[in-house]
Amino acid sequence: MDALARAALAADDRILATIDRLGPAAADSTAADAATRAYLTLLDLADRAGIAEDLDICLRLPAIGREIPHDGEKRARDNAAEICARARAVGATVTLATDGDIDDPASVDEVLAALADLRRAAPTTGVTLRADLRRTPADCRELARSGARVRLRLRPGWHLVRRSVATADPAFHDQRRGFAACLGILMAGPGYPMIATQDPRLMALTTRLAARAGRHPDSFEFQTVRGTPRREHRRLAATGYRARIYVSYRR
């Protein structure tokens, strides 16, 4: 599997990896079960390859049944619990994805409810939050208090916009301010922040806030999105920070 090969190459440079399995929402139980087996197989293969320790899996609840009528939410949680248990057994972690490009409180509530349920048996289960949503600062405060792993990111697609274009857009600066506010909340709490940005100013702010909070370099991590140069990963890892690349594959 190419995603595992890329994760193995990153591990050689002491860089961590998140693997994201892309695909449609499961329309029925057969598809949900197949997706669940795929996640379990991925973890087993990573374990056999010796790279499961500290590997992170991005888990999309719709892929394992959340959208199935009638019992989708329960089915997805049961499948997620099995995946989280397997991840914990091999030394990996799971981070729940929050999908969609709109501020959908009900959807985010479902993911956060699933997170709370899963963390009872697998405390290292984390979640992705978008810094541009109105509700995110409050969600960050609650999750920081609980000691959760939180992946903080900007609105999907911003990393694909040329910097000269993005910086001329007032929305970009609004997002950066929102990200900085959420970052401050997470870094001040006892949780494990995962900072998903390639913006040099936000990365520098992360290190300043960590120093101010007395955080050890292994108490948070930098995560990257598509397009970040690998020399930046190596630089962060060489200076003692935990750096993680994002690797995706489509089923």
User: In Å, how far are 11, 86, 125, 218, 245 from 81, measured between CA atoms?
Assistant: 27, 9, 10, 26, 25
What tens digit of pLDDT does each residue of 129-150 get?
A: 999 888 999 999 999 999 999 9
Query: From CA 53, how far away is CA 78, in angstroms rounded?
Result: 24
CA dist list (Å): 11 to 18, 125, 233: 11, 21, 11
H-run or E-run covering 127: strand 126-130
pLDDT digits (tens, 9 = 90+) for 58-90: 999 999 999 999 899 999 999 999 999 999 999
pLDDT value of residue 44: 97
Task: State the pLDDT confidence band at 199, using cuts at 50, 70 and 90.
Answer: confident
Token pair for 92: 């990996």
- When pLDDT is averaged across residues 84-101 and rounded to a whole number, the result is 90
Q: Which residues of 223-237 are buried (b: 16+ CB within 10 A; e: fewer)?
A: bbbeebeeebbeebb
* Cα torsion 179, 181, 187, 190: sign: negative
- Confidence at residue 229, expressed as pLDDT on a 0 to 100 scale: 54
Q: What is the pLDDT of residue 102?
A: 52
pTM tops 0.85, yes or no: yes
Query: What percent of the chain has a predicted confidence (pLDDT) above 90?
Result: 68
CA angle 4–33–23, rounded 5-degree value: 55
Pairing of strands 93-96, 56-59: parallel
